[in-house]
Amino acid sequence: MNPSASKLKDELIQTLKTNYGYSPEEATDRQMYGTILTVVQSYLTRKRADYLDTLKKNDKKRIYYMSMEFLVGPSLRNNLYNLNMQAEMKQAVSELGFDLDVIYEMEPDPGLGNGGLGRLASCYMDAATTLGYPITGFSIRYEFGIFKQQIVDGWQIEYPDDWLELGGYWLTPRDDEAMEVHFDGHVEERWGERGLTTIHRDYYTVRAVPYDLMVSGKDSEAINCLRLWRAEAPTSKSFDMYTFSRGEYVKSMEEDAKAESISKVLYPADDHIEGKRLRLKQQYFFVSASLQTIIRDYLRTHESLDNLPEYAVIHINDTHPALCVPELMRILLDDCGYEWENAWEITCRTLAYTNHTVMSEALERWDLNLFRQHLPRITKIIEEIDRRFCKDVFEFHPEKRNQLSSMAIIGDGQVRMANLCVIACFSVNGVSKLHSDILKEDLFKDYNDIFPGKLTNVTNGIAARRWLCQGNPLLTSYITELIGDGFVHDLSQLEQLAKFADDRQVLRQLAEIKLENKKMLAKYISAANGINLDPTSLFDIQVKRLHEYKRQLMNALHICHLYLQIKHHGLVIEPRAFIFGAKASPGYYMAKEIIRFICALGDLINRDPATKGMLKVIFLADYKVSLAEKIYPAAEISEQISQAGKEASGTGNMKMMLNGALTLGTMDGANIEIYDAVGADNIFIFGMNTEEVNRTRDNGYSPRAIYDANPYVREVLDFVRSGGLDGKNFDSIVQYLLNNDTYMSLADFESYRIAQTKVNEVYRNPDKWNRMSLMNIAGSGIFSADRSIEDYIRDIWYK
Ligand code: 26V
Q: How far away, in angstroms, is 650 Cα from ligand 1 center?
A: 10
- Residue 634 and residue 519: Cα distance in Å, rounded? 8
Q: How far away, in angstroms, is 270 Cα from ligand 1 center?
A: 6
Q: How far away, in angstroms, is 320 Cα from ligand 1 center?
A: 10
User: Could you read off the pLDDT of 609-663 as tens digits, one per residue?
Assistant: 999 999 999 999 999 999 999 999 999 999 999 999 999 999 999 999 999 999 9
pLDDT at residue 345 above 70?
Answer: yes
Per cent of the chain over pLDDT 70 is: 98
Q: What is the pLDDT of residue 237?
A: 52
Q: Strand 70-71 and strand 111-112: pairing?
A: antiparallel
Ligand 1 binding pocket includes 124 (Cβ within 6 Å): no
Cβ-proximal residues to 443 (8 Å cutoff; 6+ apart), any chain: 355, 358, 418
Q: Strand 195-201 and strand 186-192: pairing?
A: antiparallel
- Coarse DSSP helix, strand, coil percentages of the chain, rounded to the nearest 5 percent: 55, 15, 30
The whole-number average pLDDT for the span 580-596 is: 98
Of the candidates 296, 365, 364, 301, the residue with the CA atom closest to the CA atom of residue 336: 296
Ligand 1 binding pocket includes 359 (Cβ within 6 Å): no
At 706, the pLDDT band (50, 70, 90 cuts) reads very high
Q: Strand 365-367 and strand 70-71: pairing?
A: unpaired
Q: What is the pLDDT of residue 480?
A: 98
Average model confidence (pLDDT) across the chain: 96
Q: Among positive and negative, which fits the CA dihedral 707, 709, 710, 711?
A: positive
DSSP state of 462: B
Q: What is the pLDDT of residue 236?
A: 62
At 243, the pLDDT band (50, 70, 90 cuts) reads low
| SS3 letters across 558-619 | HHHHHHHHHHHHCCCCCCEEEEEECCCCCCCHHHHHHHHHHHHHHHHHHCCHHHCCCEEEEE
At 255, the pLDDT band (50, 70, 90 cuts) reads confident
- Residue 42 and residue 11: Cα distance in Å, rounded? 10
Best probe residue, ligand 1, of 139, 140, 318 (max atoms within 8 Å of C-beta): 318
pLDDT at residue 413 above 60?
Answer: yes
What is the longest distance spanned by two Cα atoms in the chain?
90
The whole-number average pLDDT for the span 391-415 is: 98
Residue identifier of the C-alpha nearest atom 6 of ligand 1:
270
CB-CB neighbours of 602 under 10 Å: 23
Residue identifier of the C-alpha nearest atom 8 of ligand 1:
270
pTM greater than 0.75 (yes/no): yes
Ligand 1 atom at minimal distance to the Cα of residue 460: 21
pLDDT at residue 239 above 60?
Answer: no
Of the candidates 375, 149, 358, the residue with the CA atom closest to the CA atom of residue 283: 375
- Residue 612 and residue 607: Cα distance in Å, rounded? 7
Q: How far away, in angstroms, is 334 Cα from ligand 1 center?
A: 33
Ligand 1 binding pocket includes 123 (Cβ within 6 Å): no
CA angle 422–425–429, rounded 5-degree value = 65
CB-CB neighbours of 136 under 10 Å: 22
Residue identifier of the C-alpha nearest atom 10 of ligand 1:
270
pLDDT at residue 428 above 60?
Answer: yes
- Residue 198 and residue 188: Cα distance in Å, rounded? 6
Q: Among positive and negative, which fits the CA dihedral 370, 375, 380, 383?
A: negative
pLDDT at residue 274 above 70?
Answer: yes
Q: What is the pLDDT of residue 191?
A: 86
Residue identifier of the C-alpha nearest atom 18 of ligand 1:
117
Ligand 1 atom at minimal distance to the Cα of residue 354: 21
Q: How far away, in angstroms, is 595 Cα from ligand 1 center?
A: 20
Ranges assigned E (strand) in 442-520: 455-457
Q: What is the pLDDT of residue 351?
A: 99
Q: What is the pLDDT of residue 242?
A: 65
Backbone angles phi, psi at 3, to 5 degrees: -70, 145
User: Could you read off the pLDDT of 718-755 as tens digits, one per residue?
Assistant: 999 999 999 999 999 999 999 999 999 999 999 999 99
Ligand 1 atom at minimal distance to the Cα of residue 648: 25
Cβ-proximal residues to 337 (8 Å cutoff; 6+ apart), any chain: 194
- 220, HSE (Cβ side, Cα atoms, 13 Å): 25
Of the candidates 509, 558, 554, 517, the residue with the CA atom closest to the CA atom of residue 539: 517
User: Could you read off the pLDDT of 545-568 as tens digits, one per residue?
Assistant: 999 999 999 999 999 999 999 999
Ligand 1 binding pocket includes 318 (Cβ within 6 Å): yes
- Residue 486 and residue 62: Cα distance in Å, rounded? 28
- Residue 615 and residue 537: Cα distance in Å, rounded? 9
Question: What burial class does residue 113 get, using C-beta atoms within 10 Å of its C-beta: 0-12 exposed, 13-18 middle, 19+ buried?
Answer: buried
End-to-end CA distance of the chain: 36
- Residue 688 and residue 751: Cα distance in Å, rounded? 9
pLDDT at residue 491 above 60?
Answer: yes
**What is the set of active-site residues?**
356, 544-545, 550, 651, 655
Ligand 1 binding pocket includes 146 (Cβ within 6 Å): no
Ligand 1 atom at minimal distance to the Cα of residue 116: 19
